[in-house]
Chain A
Amino acid sequence: MTPSLHLWLIPVLPLVGAAINGFFGRRLTRQAVGTVALTFCGAAFAMALYVAVRFSSLALPHTEFLAHWIRSGDFLVNFEFYLDQLTLVMLLVVTGVGFLIHIYAVGYMWEEGGFYRFFSYLNLFMFFMLTLVLAGDYLQMFIGWEGVGLASYLLIGFYFTRDSAASAGKKAFIVNRIGDFGFLIALFLMIRHFGSLDFSRVFSAASHLPVETAGFGLLTSIGLLLMVGAAGKSAQIPLYVWLPDAMEGPTPVSALIHAATMVTAGVYMVARSHVIFDHAPNALTVVAIVGTLTALFAATIGVAQTDIKKVLAYSTVSQLGYMFMACGVAAYSAGIFHLMTHAFFKGLLFLAAGSVIHSVGGEQDMRKMGGLHQFIPVTYITMFIATLAIAGIPPFAGFFSKDEILYRAFLANPAYWVIGLFTAFLTSFYMFRLLFMTFYGDYRGSTASGQGQDVAHSGHGHGSPHESPTIMLAPLMILAFLSFVGGWIGIGGRFERFLAPVFSSGELAERATETGRRGLEWSLMGASVGAAVLGWYLARLLYQQKPRLPQKIAEALGGFYETVVHKYYVDELYATLFVKPLVEGSTSILWHGVDQGVIDAAVNDTADGAKHASDAARHMQSGNLRSYAGWVAAGGALVIAYMIWMGVR
């Protein structure tokens, strides 16, 4: 009998917080709302830490059975929590980063309307995300999966009076539906062929099937469908379009949901399903290709964006691409490692960006910033650390995880590595571009600005840019510390060894490191650091030393630059290919044609027919005696005629 850890408390605590704030928050003061949200979120974090402390004494994987959920013949679904090394990493990242962002959000949202609503949604998100992470079977995971989608929708559309925010929320929700469709079909296939959705049963069944090297078998189908779901949730090609629009939400939401936690759910799901993917190499190749292309594609878009949050959004898409690239070359632990460090530095980048936006009165356009390092030094330093981390400069966190991915990608196929390296250069370039445009040079914004997008910070008598309150800076500093040291746990493959029991392919990696490929690893490391430095140098050249040069380059590139600025016209393409035919088809065929033409018409015509028929009959009942007599006479004549006719015959 393994000791009970009361794992159910971890997701349920934020749910309680969400319920209190949701039902009673309107009547509570801001202090009370903030306290409730932080207490329950913090309690979940404390529980996660407690689990981490008790972890070594557990027989793994540890499952906690709560109740039967669905029983239908042999098919059984339980409410069950599942804990192994992978879960623990996710648990700590989600609760830890989530708690920090909660603290930050109290400061950031303080002057907002709907304060209690915001924290209710945020806690609700934590509940669903932890359900997803702790789930013991695919169906329970799917609850969390859908739930985080709901919370994401609610929070993107938090400023629902703004049309763009409302439609961005809808876009995120609908695009995610496409992915969920793939996920659901994959679940149906599992039920059909394995008779269960339980992780252990599905994986043991899958591991007994032969590896599908060629052809398009069951596991390949399931893997590809799961990847469709992951592409929706984790914003990969072709379903990434919702994530940049999701920046309409408040910045803490962008940090928590659309950078650190929710969007990594797809990576987690793929890593969790590694048994299936290991037996379906073709599906795995698709994962790798999608990830690699997304990483490159999003990075190029990020280079030309001017909205500080949009740059970070495309950067997130690109980094998620790296994680999928890692999963695609079966380096799951490298992917999860990058997921963790990314949660630190990207969460930090978003929070720092929020602090920047806060300081300049809601302005998000980097062309109207500049020179901010003298006004907001703490934000500047933390953001600088995060930039170093994401650019892959040692010894910051991103360097270790990204380098691990690139190394493993090189072992699988050097083509991945080339694209990954180029993307690393682009990443470094656009991040330093952001840093230089925002913090260096002269301040280009107006000191009396109030035209910002962020409802929060527009127009409260802004003078010159000012530093954010301590409650916002403290999480920045903690995350900066984590971005600095977070990668060190991966030195010498420690992180990989920790996760090795989950990913049985771990020994493959150790074999690779031990066969004297140290030299290769070092040279690859040198290449990626070189790419990062090159990106920094180019950004410095273009955006600090010769600020007129970028415009000239843009003019020289002409049409291509325009295409990149317009994000390769993907949104327009989707609008033409899918949205417009759907809207017009629904309008002309389904609405005017089927609904009005067939269904309404059938009902109305029945009524009209009855009306016309009775109208004709009504005229017989004129009340005129002689017309009655006429009808009687005519009837009589008819009867007589009939009788005569019969008689004659």
Chain B
Amino acid sequence: MNRLKQFITDFGWPRIIIALFLISLFFAAPFVDVRIDTSFSDLFNRFGMNAVLVLAMVPMVQSGCGLNFGLPLGVIAGLLGSTLSIEMGMTGTAGFAMAIAIACLFAMVLGYGYGKLLNRVKGDEMMIATYVGFSSVAFMSILWLLLPFKSPTMVWGFAGKGLRTTISLEGFWSHILNDFLAFRIGENFVFPTGMILFFAVICLLVWSFMHTKTGTALTAVGSNPEFARASGIDVNRMRTISVVFSTMLGAVGILVYQQSFGFIQLYNAPFYMAFPAVAAILLGGASVNKASMVNVIVGTLLFQGILTMTPSVINSVLKTDMSEVIRIIVSNGMILYALTRRTKVSK
């Protein structure tokens, strides 16, 4: 009994409520003419699309930089990667690989600057990250209009200058991961094996990093920066490494998302991309300075589960689309809960 109580206190009531809510939705589904196989198919697809973006939260949380509200910076790096890859006319696996390579390069540079900035504002990272993210998106919007892209698939038709808001990946690398080794069960269930495998590989990468000497030092910095300093660790260097890593994961994450979605979205699209990722990892059990792979997987499943099931089930029951509102309430409520939780050890 005590262990159950301990589990509940640690896990938190909001998470338990949401998990139970999700399970009840799955049970209710067949009764309201929502197909389970379609739902699961959707769920796995959305899981794969978003999981890497959620994973991008982990390095910065572990190093004590807080929740990465500045994820848009990584997304921008990813967008630069994909647009430049298309500009070069590369298709298929080569195109995707080139996109990743360019994106990572940009992510390293952006992440480095971002990391240096965050080091000067210890304690206020989250708010500043949000607004640095926003300013960058707005700034990039100006650049998307001005940069000399030529590829006809990307540029506005009659003006010939400036990128379109949405760019189709048809013929380039749309679904390149999803379709790899994918299998069907029946008519409505498709498992995007390639994407899930890709996520597993990246997950393994992050997990391995956390087990190296540097990864261990990084965790210590987030756990107790004074201890780390007393042990001779260069706290600022560790934090910068975590920010660069987070930004790179964000860049790769948006590429995985895009290949499944089939479109590149520019301009104001990256604005609020950090929030679902933040909400998801918190939902998975992470705190403001501790996050693990399990948090990522559980959180993404729960969060995307809610997003998948709510529209279909509730819409069928109430004959109305409340998914947007529920998404807002659940994700922001989760973040609020994490922010107002008294941490066990004072920072």
The reply to whether chain A is a binding partner of chain B is: no
